[in-house]
Amino acid sequence: MKNIVILISGGGSNMAAIVRTAQAQNWVKQFNAHISAVISNKADAKGLVFAKEQGIATAVVDHKAFADQPQPREAFDAALMAEIDKHQPYLVVLAGFMRILTPGFVAHYEGRLINIHPSLLPAFTGLNTHARAIEAGCKFAGATVHRVTAELDHGPILAQAIVPVLPDDTADSLAARVLTQEHLIYPKVVAELVSSTC
């Protein structure tokens, strides 16, 4: 079985889109793949409720618990890796996981780690992508699914979706338009990756 582990920090709507697609397309039967865990760095991440309702194993590794360690990022990532590796993942899917990962973490999951970012990379890496796209006068915005490399929001692009930026857009209205497209491209990419070798 190809185990998929999804990491979230908040609402988890991309995670939910992947879970629903996996159910609708019967990935277990089609690809011998299933979503084995949803892990969050925040105990109050809303997406955890949905995952539990779907009968998916959930876990929380709170980054704040490592704040007083000599190397907090490394310590957090080590604990996160231990939690993820319980599921022997074929694929680790970052879905609104708002943590910068250490090079050690990225190397550990090389070839198995993907992310979705709410911009047309390589434009607008980092935070506040929608406000920055509006501020820059962009006529189009979008989202990118990419493999994760040690450099933040870089790595080979697997899929992109494009939406128009409308004259009266706010960051929130643009984010909502982009998010509907994220929900289409992210499950598609995950399906492609788990279907590559049956």
Active-site residue, 87 included: no
* Cis peptide preceding 122, ω within 30 of 0: yes
Token couple for 131: 């406000």
Q: How many CB atoms lie within 10 A of CB 68?
A: 8
- Locate 104 and state its tokens: 């050690």
Among 182, 185, 189, 190, binds ligand GAR (CB under 6 A): 182
For residues 59-118, which are near ligand GAR according to CB under 6 A?
95-96, 116-118
Question: Smallest Cα–Cα separation from 92: which of 109, 117, 71?
Answer: 109
Phi-psi region of 83 (alpha: psi -120 to 50; beta: other; left: phi over 0): alpha
Please tell me whether residue 145 adopts helix, strand or coil conformation. Answer: strand
- State how beta strands 140-147 and 113-117 pair: antiparallel
Region from 3-11, 26-34, 64-72, 99-107 binding ligand GAR, contact rule CB under 6 A: 3-11
> Binding of ligand GAR at residue 145 (CB under 6 A)?
no
Which residue, 32 or 171, is less far from ligand GAR as judged by CB? 171
| Residue 11 binds to ligand GAR (criterion: CB under 6 A) | yes
User: Shortest distance, CB of residue 23 to ligand GAR, whole angstroms?
Assistant: 17
Give the residue, chosen from 2, 12, 120, 187, that forms a contact with ligand GAR under the rule CB under 6 A.
12
x/- track of binding to ligand GAR for residues 160-179 (CB under 6 A): -------------------x
At 170, is the secondary structure helix, strand, or coil? Answer: coil
Give the H/E segment covering residue 152: none
Among the listed residues 63, 117, 130, 146, the single catalytic one is: 117
**Footprint of ligand GAR on this chain (CB under 6 A)?**
8, 10-14, 95-96, 116-118, 143, 179, 182
> Which residues are marked as active site?
117
